[in-house]
Each structure stands twice: as structure tokens, then as C-alpha cells.
Structure 1
Amino acid sequence: MQRLAGRIMLLWGFPRAVIALFAGAIGAFALPPFGFFAVLFISFPILVWLMDGATGNPDGGWFARLRSAFWIGWVFGFGYFVASLWWLGNALLIDADEFAWALPLAVLGLPAYLALFYGLATALARILWSDGFGRLAALGAAFGLAEWLRGFVATGFPWNAVGYGAMPIPLMMQSSAFFGIFGISALAVFVFSAPALLGTKKGMTAGLALAALLFCAHLGYGAYRLQMADKMPAAENQPVVRIVQPLIDQSRKLDDAERASIFEEHLALTALPPENGGKRPDIVVWPETSVPFILTQNPDALTRIADVLQDGQVLVTGVVRSEDAGAGFAPRFYNSIYVIDSNGQIVSAADKVHLVPFGEYVPYEDLLRNLGVTDAIAMPGGFTAAPQRAMLTLPGGRTLYPLICYEAIFPDEIDDDVAKAGALLNVTNDGWFGATPGPYQHFQQARIRAVENGRPLIRAANTGISAVVDPFGRLIKGIGYNQKGVMDSTLGGGFAPYWSTRARENHFWLVLLSMLLIAIVSRTGFNFRTN
């Protein structure tokens, strides 16, 4: 191991970049649909050894000394994000004649941007780099900070944070309820980096022991929470939820001539009898933008919904909502959810708060237009963001906490109102991504939100994965990707004990502070012993 570490440290130029790219790329196998988390025990030790050799020019000042470390982190991140996000290009191939020009931006440009955060992480870690296991703490703290920044800088895109690789199954998801995804990311980098100590020896015993302790605590806490979940009494009077997965091809959704038939397909699936003579559904859920027209402008459509729903049933569906902006102004459109009762009345609504840049709106639109970037302005979308999140209230008083599409990847945007909700509701259309890792990654992140917030999850996806997940991240019932049909299920599991978003943020900062102190002591420990 020492010989391998030494060879990697001494790499230079192109071979060094290739190894960094490889180390990042293989890390993608820790994410869904693979879930092979052990590969990160290869990825991060290689990164540590590359950092050991990233000394830079000692006579060139701080910037020159950190530049080499930044470059290694950026290449590592570029490999990781290209390998784990390449499927984003599939969305642009749906209407290739119009948007194929943007394919390099999605497949290479976005990873290049996201890799800047990992470059920042390695540069910051290099400031407190040492020979012992303190450098692992520095790297963990820096990566945790980078993932946190990735959650909100430039509207945020925390997709595939490193911590998700440490949570492939419910047993390994439970720690997120205490630390959140960013705290888990910091701790995961420390643990996954620990084998690097086998190649450098200094601080090996203490570092490996601490990493083993953290990993065992991670598994032990998961086992404890799941054991506690099995002893919880089942919640009474749970509604039966029907999730409709219509499997509508994205090209059909863009075809005006298909709108009526798409709507009727949703209604036909809604009207199917329960399987095996089971209880009829109380709540029917359709995916994001399932209704292919402005529902309030089509009263006959509301009548059709009322005809299909039985007395007391309620439909929760993704829609496009329009709003008059006043004389002389174009109407505003919102990506929304409606709750419709069996009389065809809209009784509750919620609009999407966090829109997808360049998919649902164009950031800095006026600036881009002035610069002549008209192709970007023409991309599909044109939605308006809601100023704040609204809860959905169903007849009878039950409430749902709505997360439309990729809103489920932003843990810090879920406020304290979630404690009042009977379940999280995630409606999405992952049909844009095709048969790629994208839908599986999205589903995992939504499951983690259920664990963090101690609430069951109802998830309806056009092409899958649709599911009901209990508050501990366990699948109660689901429909696999690229399958058409319905599933009926109770929520199950009641509510789980959870920490508030603010508490998880505090725990995250405590993790970073602890790692920072370890890194500082390791960096300055020699001076302490000699004074």
C-alpha cells in the first residue's frame, strides 16, 4: 500500500489528471441505481494521496501553493459529476432539433461548474493539510462546506452530494435525521478517506479507529432506529392512497393533438377497481403537470374528474396554473398542484417555489437577451416561482407538504410546517431523463427527505419511480421505472421522531467545527509538543 501511495503522490502532469478523473468517476458507482458504496473507499484515498503530492510552488505565495490542490479537486469533481449526471443530456434530446446545441452544456458544462465546489474544497483542505489523520478531517470539513454551498449558490443544485453514497439502504439512511445530508457528507469523506492512512502510516491507528467508530455508529444508529420503527404502533384511520403512473412518453406530452387522450388515460387508470377486492382509494395522486391544459379554462374537464371520482374521494394532481397579471401584461404561469374533490371543486392548491434554471425559467434573462444569447431564452419553461410554500389541505383536514419535482433535493428549504403534515408529497415527471440513473437518483433523494423529516412520502412520477415510503425510508409499495399502472397503499408507520431543519443545521456546523479542530491540532501538534 505504501508503494502505491508513493507512486500516486509522485504523479505529475497528464497521468496525475487521469488518475484524479478516474478516482472521481468511479465514485459515481456509489449512487443509484448501483449503490456500491464501497467504491468510495477507493475514490477518496486516491484523492488524499494526490493531495499529498499537490505541494505547488513553495516560492509562489498562497495562491500558487493552493492552485495545484484546487486543480486536483476540480478534475476529481469533473469526473464524478460527468459520470453521475451525464443523463441530463437526455432531456435535450426529446426535442433534439431545437435544443441539441445545448447538449455539451448539460453533459460537460454543468459538471465543470459543479466541480468548482470540489476544487474549492481541496484548496481549503490544503491550508490545514498535515501528515496525520488530521488531513482527513480537513478534507471532510471542506467537502461538507462545499456541499452546503452547492445547495444554494446560483439557486443551488445539491444533486448527488457525496453523503448519498453512504446511504444506499434504509439501515444507512437513519443518521441523516440527525446530521442532514451535508453533515453526512462531511463525515462520509472522513471515513471513506481513512484507507489512505495505510499508505502513509502516520496517524494510522488513531485515524482508522476513529473512522471505524464512526462507521459502526452509523450502522448502529440505523439498526436502533429501524428496531424502534418495528415497535411503533400502526397509525389508525390511515387513508388509502392510489398513485397513478401513466407512463406518458415525453414527446406525446409536447404534442397538442395528444392532450385529450392523455387526460383520458389518467382518468381510466383512476377508475380501475382496487386489486384483490381491497378498500377503494381515499386519495388519488397524479404526477407533475399531468393535466395537459389549463384546467380552470376547461370546466368540462373538472366535470369529467367529478364523474370518475366516487363520493368522498379526492384527486391530487400536478397542473399548470395560470394567473391574470393585469391589463397589458402576459398571464403568469405556475407549476402547481391542485386538490380536487368528488364534486369537481378545486379545494386547495400549492405552487412550486424553487424552479429549474433554464428548464422552467431563464435566470438573468434580460442580461442574456442583451448579450444576444437568444437560444437560451427560447428554452422551454416560462414559469413564475411562488413567493412561499403552501401546504395542501384535503377535505377532512389532512395536510400534505408539497415538493414539486426537484424541490425534493433541497433539504434546507423544508420549513417547520412539515411537522403539521400527514405526509410529504413529491410529484414529478422524470420522463425527461429516460432510462438512465436520473430517476433512481431522484427517488433516493426524496426518500432521504422522508427520513430527515420523520414523515411518510407519497411520490407520483409519470414514468417512475412512484412509491409510498415510510418515515424511515423503507419502501411500503411502489411501481418500478418504465411501468404503467396504479398502486394502492396506506401510508404506514405513522410519524418518526425527527430533528428540525434548524437542529440539523446546528449539528452540521458542529461536525464541521469538530473536524476543523482536529485538523488544526494535527497541523500544529508538533509545536504543541515542543513548547
Structure 2
Amino acid sequence: MERLAGRVFLLWSWPRRLAACAAGAITVLALPPFDFPAAGFFSFPILVWLLDGTPAAGAAWRRFLPAFSAGWWFGFGYFLAGMWWVGAPFLRDLGLAWALPLAVLGLPACLALFYGLATLIARLLWSDGIGRIAALAFGFGIAEWLRGALPWGLAWNAIGLAAMPVPLLMQGAHVLGVAGMSAAAIFVYSTPALLATRLHARAGLTLAAILIAAQLGYGYAHLSMNPETDRVLRVRLVQPVPEAGGDFDETLKTYLELTASPVADGQASPELILWPELSVPFVLAERPDLLDAIVRGLRDDELLIAGTVRQESGPEAGMRRLYNAVVAISKTDGIIDGADKVNIALFVDHLPFEGIFPGAGPDSPLTKTSYSPGSARRLLSVSENIGALPLIGTEAAIPGIAEPHAQRVDLILNPANYSAFAGLPVSYQHLRQAQLRAVEAGLPLLLAMPHGPTAVIDARGRVIDALAASRRGIIDVAVPLTENGMLPGGSSTLRGLVFSAMLGMVALFLIIRVGIPESRD
């Protein structure tokens, strides 16, 4: 361990950057669909040793630029290996080949700035022994909090997901949120680096063991507390698996056939039916024939929530704004309610800087369906006494997004659509993040995707029922509507920020007491 730490410590120039990039890429093995959490114990000690090798004296840029660089290259490797699938639709459409490098390399390069900031913050508080571990955990906690606070869908694959592969390990997000769990995960993952110097090694490993025990203990206790309830909602989720480039009339026929499928013997018909995001990729006001066909396929006591497109006129003549939306449709009244997607995602809902790129005009196959963000988040009424929070598509990847509304609704609806990325890891990564939104808010969540996996998730993040990816079918489930289990004293995101700040205070105390470590100039 000492020899390995010494070799990493002495790396410089491109070997140093490649080591940081490789360490970030290794961390992706802890994410879906691989789910190998131990990968963090290999990658984060390397990052600690790389930061140990940064200069401790000289001009500010000489001390802090190498630290920022180490974090940036780590983040670039992490996001490139975890989000390479963003380029799939650009590769399949030769008309958009110009945007492939922008998506595959540009997006990870931008997201890596947050991890560069994380290591820069850590380097400001760097000291010997356990202090630097606490500083690194604090830096990443702040970085993940910032990612979740921005409105443009940049919170995908938070580093804390690496330590939460199953519901037992997810329950801590109910207390600390993703930012706090990320900080705790970085602290635990980084402790093997202490074995190289044996300074504070025993204390660090003990604290790591306590954090792991607390995560397991709270997870077990929280999963055991399932309050009984008589309130249930009968739901049906539809997964049509449409053919790529197929005729929409055939796709709609599949939706309607699955929607009208008879229920199993002894079961009552569903009260709520959920279709995926953009299941009807048209402005329904312009296609009354589609609305009529959908209404005819519903029973009298059913409410359909379907993803569609909403249009508004722009400020200039001939201009229009399109919104990624959901609408509530009943048999008797047609469209009775709706909501827009508020947090649009770059390269999924919107191409950034579209006006300056060649071929990105209004006739581009990508930008002609570029969506505007909704002005406000709307709640939907499922029945007289049941309310729902719609999170459309990638909104379910934003930490803490459901918590401000959790006291006013009974469940979360998450229609999503990754048809352009079918067969790639993105849908499994989305499912994991949807589970965490259910845990944070203490609410059940319904996830519907055209190619799957479609799932019904309870308020503890457990998958009650699911359809495997690329399997056409429906899910009929009676979802228990328990009182949500949010803790008092603010959101989990705020508690996670406080926890990260506590780690930062520990690092600051140790740097004052121990001093800044000597390092290679």
C-alpha cells in the first residue's frame, strides 16, 4: 500500500491526469447496471494520493490548479464512463453527427467542473491523516448539493449512488439526502488511503465502520417501520415497447390494447393508468382524432395520465414554444388537467447553444422538438382525496425535488422515455434515482417507460412490481398510500448540507491543530 501510494504521489503531467481519469471511470462500476459498490475502495484512495502530491507552497495557482485538475479529470472519467450513452441518438442520426463530440465529451467536461471544485475545496482544508479524508468528503458533499440545486438537470449519477445499490442501503437518504450520503460515502471509500501512512488509520477505519453500521442499522429499522393503511390506489402501468421509427398509429393501437386489457380474476379495474413520457408526441389540440381514440378506450371510472406535447404562441409572430407535458384524461370530460416539465435536461429536452451550430436550425431533427421549461410545478388530482406529484423524465434524477410537495400529495408519478437510448444503461440508472426520490419524500412512485424497466416503487424505495426492459405488457397493482415519512426539521437536502459542513469543520479543526502537510514542490 505504501509503495502504491508513493507511485501515485509522484505522478505528474499526463500520467497523473490519466490516473485520475481512470479512477473516475472505475467508480462507475458501482453504478447500475454493474452494482459493484466496492469499486469506490479502489478509486478514491487514488484520488487522495493524487491530492497528496499537489504542491503545498508557492503561488496560489501552483497550489490549487493541480488540485482542481485532479478532481476535474476524475470527474471527466466518471461522467464519460457513466454517461457515454448520451451520444447514441447523435450517432444513429448522421444528420446530427456534428453534435456527437459536444454531447459525449462536452457534457462530461462540464459536469466534471463540479468535482474539480470539490477537490479544490478539499485542498484548501488539506492536512495529514484523517483530516484530508474529511476535507474530501466535505468537498464532494458541497459539489453534489450544488449539482442538485441547479435547474438544468445536471444532477445525474450523484456519487452517493455508488453506496446505495439496494433499498437497505438507501434509507439514509431519507435523513441526509443524496448530498449527505455522498459525503459519507466518500469518507468511507477514502479511508484505505490512511493505511499508506498509518497516521490516524485506526481512527479512520473505526469511523468508517461506524458510518457503515449506522447506514445498515437505520436502513433495517426504517424498512421495518411499515405503518398499516387501508388507503390504496389501483393503478395500471403500460409498457408498449414500440418499434424504432415505427408508425405512431400502430404504437397508439398497442397503447390502447394494453390499456383496455382485462384485469386478472378477482381484481377490480384500475383507477389510474399511467403512460410513459411523450407517449403521444403531438399537440393534442391539433389532433382531436387522437384524443377521441384515447377517450373511447377508457372506462368510466378510469383516469389516464399520458405524456404529450403542449404548445404556446411565442412573443414573435409565427413563433411557438413546445413543452414536455403530461395530461390527465377522463372518459367523460376529456383533458381535465395537465402539467409541464419544469427542469429540462440538456441534450435530452434541449440542445444548448443551438443557434450557433450549423444545421441546428428549426428544421433540424433534434431542435425542432426542443422543449422550453415550464413556469411552475403543478400537482395533479387523481381523485377527490388523492393528489399526485408529476416528475417528468429526468426530473426524477434531481435530489430532493419531491420533498417540498410531499405533505400535499399521496404519490409521485414519473413517466419517462429513453427510447432513443433503448438497451443502454440509462434506464437502469434512472430506476435507481427514482427509488431514491421515493425514499427522500416517503412516498410511493410509479415509473412508466416505453422500453422499461417500468416499476411500482413503495415509499421505502422497494420495487413492488416491475416489467423487464423490452418486455411488452402491463402492471396492475394496488399501491398502499401511507402517510409519508418525512422527518421534521427541514428537507433531507438541507440536513445533508449540514452533515457535509460538519465534516468540513472537522477538516478545518485538524488543519489548524496539525497544520498543512509538506508536499512535493
Give the structure-2-normalised TM-score. 0.93
Instruction: Answer yes or no: is the 8 Å Cα contact 1:259–1:293 preserved in 2.
Output: no
Instruction: Answer yes or no: is the 8 Å Cα contact 1:29–1:37 preserved in 2.
Output: yes
Residue by residue, what CA displacement relative to the aligned partner does 1:483-515 show, whole Å, maximum 9, x if unpaired? 111110111362341137943233123212211
Partner of 1:481: 469
Instruction: Answer yes or no: is the 8 Å Cα contact 2:454–2:468 preserved in 1.
Output: yes
Residue by residue, what CA displacement relative to the aligned partner does 1:255-286 show, whole Å, maximum 9, x if unpaired? xxx22222111101111111345322221111
Partner of 2:159: 162
Q: Which moved more, 1:176-185 or 1:111-120?
A: 111-120
Closer, same or farther in 2 for the Cα pair 1:100/1:169, shift >3 Å?
Answer: same
Closer, same or farther in 2 for the Cα pair 1:292/1:77, shift >3 Å?
Answer: closer
Is residue 25 of structure 2 the alignment partner of residue 25 of structure 1? yes
Instruction: Answer yes or no: is the 8 Å Cα contact 2:283–2:311 preserved in 1.
Output: yes
Instruction: Answer yes or no: is the 8 Å Cα contact 2:173–2:436 preserved in 1.
Output: yes
Q: Distance in 1 between matches of 2:481 and 2:216?
A: 21
Partner of 2:63: 65
Q: Distance in 2 between matches of 1:110 and 1:517?
A: 32
Partner of 1:8: 8
**Residue 360 of structure 2 aligns to a residue in which SS?**
helix
The Cα shift of 1:452 comes to: 0.1
Is residue 234 of structure 2 the alignment partner of residue 236 of structure 1? no
Closer, same or farther in 2 for the Cα pair 1:440/1:501, shift >3 Å?
Answer: farther
Partner of 1:82: 80
The Cα shift of 1:18 comes to: 2.6
Is residue 97 of structure 2 the alignment partner of residue 100 of structure 1? yes
Residue by residue, what CA displacement relative to the aligned partner does 1:51-88 show, whole Å, maximum 9, x if unpaired? 111226x33x1111111111111111111111111111
Q: In the alignment, which of 251, 267, 277 is matched to residue 262 of structure 1?
A: 251
Partner of 1:211: 208
Letter of the structure 1 residue corresponding to residue 91 of structure 2:
L
Bigger helix fraction: 1
The Cα shift of 1:438 comes to: 0.7
**Equivalence map 1:77-476=2 (5 Å):** 77-94=75-92, 96-153=93-150, 155-229=152-226, 232-233=227-228, 235-252=229-246, 258-324=247-313, 328-343=317-332, 345-363=334-352, 368-369=355-356, 373=358, 375=360, 378=364, 379-380=366-367, 381-414=369-402, 416-476=404-464
**Residue 155 of structure 1 aligns to a residue in which SS?**
coil
Give the structure-1-normalised TM-score. 0.91
Instruction: Answer yes or no: is the 8 Å Cα contact 1:291–1:320 preserved in 2.
Output: yes
Letter of the structure 2 residue corresponding to residue 9 of structure 1:
F
Q: Distance in 1 between matches of 2:240 and 2:450?
A: 6
Instruction: Answer yes or no: is the 8 Å Cα contact 1:348–1:394 preserved in 2.
Output: no
**Aligned-residue CA RMSD (Å):** 2.2
Partner of 2:519: none
Instruction: Answer yes or no: is the 8 Å Cα contact 1:302–1:344 preserved in 2.
Output: no
Q: Which has the higher contact order (CA 8 A, sep 6+)?
A: 2
Partner of 1:37: 37
Closer, same or farther in 2 for the Cα pair 1:446/1:249, shift >3 Å?
Answer: same
Aligned length: 513
Q: Which moved more, 1:127-136 or 1:415-424?
A: 415-424
Instruction: Answer yes or no: is the 8 Å Cα contact 1:45–1:192 preserved in 2.
Output: yes
Q: Distance in 2 between matches of 1:330 and 1:158?
A: 31
Partner of 1:255: none
Is residue 502 of structure 2 the alignment partner of residue 504 of structure 1? no
Q: Distance in 2 between matches of 1:416 and 1:500?
A: 12
Q: Which moved more, 1:304-313 or 1:196-205?
A: 304-313
**Residue 473 of structure 1 aligns to a residue in which SS?**
coil
Instruction: Answer yes or no: is the 8 Å Cα contact 1:241–1:490 preserved in 2.
Output: yes
The Cα shift of 1:46 comes to: 1.2
**Residue 51 of structure 2 aligns to a residue in which SS?**
helix
Q: Distance in 2 between matches of 1:28 and 1:500?
A: 34
Q: Distance in 2 between matches of 1:267 and 1:93?
A: 32
Q: In the alignment, which of 460, 482, 486 is matched to residue 494 of structure 1?
A: 482
Closer, same or farther in 2 for the Cα pair 1:395/1:327, shift >3 Å?
Answer: farther
